[in-house]
Chains A and B, each alone.
Chain A
Amino acid sequence: MTLTEDGPRAATAPHEKPGMRLTLRIWRQQDASAPGKMVDYRLDDVSPDMSFLEMLDVLNEQLIMEGQDPVAFDHDCREGICGMCGVMINGRAHGNGLHEGHPQTTTCQLHMRSFKDGDVIDIEPWRASAFPVIKDLAVDRRSFDRIIQAGGYISVPTGTAPEAHAVPVPKKDADFAFDAATCIGCGACVAACPNASSMLFTAAKITHLGLLPQGQPERDDRVVNMVAQQDREGFGGCTNIGECSASCPKGISMETISRLNHDLLGALRAGVRPKS
């Protein structure tokens, strides 16, 4: 079955045609300490209108019916905004770049129309020592939480929000800060990076807060402590290859990394050292 992006949908009503037949090769691993392996599954009658995760739901229903252990994978909102889902699909984080002209997306927003009948799809978890496998495709990303805890915040009293217009922010800065703030912390950058580096994630937060007036008081401490924490978690170093940005469902730019480096050098020159 051939699918065209702008072909008339009505002509290919899903009920009248048999769905796609797929071979899934999925990483199965009982727990963090057990060795894992790729296991083949056949799935018939997959509708091109299904999302990738719905396709995995169908597989899991089939596995449960057969009395087998369903495949564990993370997901939550299924709207591409929570950052919970994320697997390597045919060697690409979230399957980004699988479909010509396909916008960068999260796994949940990838649809089966990006595949064709007879495809073999390899599905693996994010691989990084800082993202240990919990089970099958689910990985533990709390290392990201600890990077945020190291400085990815501003210390202000909560309560009644002040008048927004009281602190003017240049439009250019506000826009860029917002672009950086769209990071959902899915971990695709680490998964795609040849060095398993978390630079794009950390840099997005540094950029987001560093561009806004509220982020200034803690700017130096923030960058020094967040970078120290990402090293401590066992992430790799950045070699500016750009796989992260190209795989990011939110399109966080490489400029954020340059900004992190700039801020870090400034902070180190100012004598700021990481908290041990």
Chain B
Amino acid sequence: MVTVTTQSGQRRAPKAAKTSSVFKKVVMAVSGIILVLYLIAHMIGNLKAFSGREDFNHYSEWLRTIGNPALPGATVLWIIRIVLLAAVLAHIWAAVSLWRQAKRARPQGYVTRKAVAQSYASRTMRWGGVIIAAFVIWHLLDLTFGAVNSEGHDGSPYDRLLASFQNPVSTIFYAIAVILLGMHLRHGVWSATQTLGQSNRRREVTVNYAATAFATVLTLGFLLTPFSVLFGLID
């Protein structure tokens, strides 16, 4: 064994020292849970498309008037939007910050590297997340604001839905994003369980199966409506 003296001494203390990496993971997990709860409600809401134009538009109108007349206008909707926006920003902040920390932690990569445990889902968390974020922006412009939708903002929500998903390109882009989201959730649900300290050797297998089952159901639920529109089951 060689005795070594390093001139550099203590390595520089990065900002990470002040904000624990585990704390950032907790921010990631909690904001992720908020977004997952929203996604469940969103997926169920989408299935309203199967009960016809009137029901769907009525449901959409209800979202804007929850709590009326006790609360004025779209108060509840705006509260939901603000909470979601905060969760998305917190999720992105934690992700970017940990991504940078990981980059700093291994400035020089391996010449040869073979993974033994990672899944496609866990490997694509970061870039998958970026693609999902880009999709969400397009998705809002398409169906909420109608900016990139041929029906525009003046059409009813049901008309915008049909206009968007009768276009195969739009449906395929949606499908790719939703499948990526499903994989993001598969690893995310398991990872959040670990991060919040709720996993153990006994539960590990169950948590992983549950994560896969949940992600699959949610993905299929989201894919059902657009493909039904594309194939004319909803018109």
**Which residue numbers of A lie inside 8 Å of B, CB to CB?**
25, 27, 32, 38, 72, 74, 76, 84, 88, 90-92, 96-97, 122, 124, 127-130, 132, 134-135, 138, 140, 192, 194-197, 227-228, 230-243, 245-247, 253-255, 257-265, 268, 274
Contact = CB atoms under 8 A, between A and B. Distances in A.
8 contacts: A129-B107, A231-B17, A231-B20, A232-B17, A241-B118, A246-B116, A254-B204, A261-B26
B118 A237 contact: no
Listed from nearest, the 6 A-B pairs whose CB atoms lie closest are A262-B197, A236-B105, A237-B21, A91-B114, A246-B117, A196-B105
Nearest to B17: A232
A261 B6 contact: no
Interface string B15-29: 011001111111000
Interface residues of B, number: 52
A237 B102 contact: yes
Given A240-B195, A261-B196, A124 B111 contact: yes
A258 B190 CA distance: 11
Interface string B72-112: 00000000000000000000000000100110111111111
Interface in B157-196: 187, 190-191, 193-196
A196 B113 contact: no
A124 B117 CA distance: 20
Interface of B: 1-2, 4, 6, 11-14, 16-17, 20-26, 98, 101-102, 104-119, 122-123, 125, 187, 190-191, 193-201, 204
B116 A92 contact: yes
Nearest to A244: B117
A41 to B, nearest CB: 15
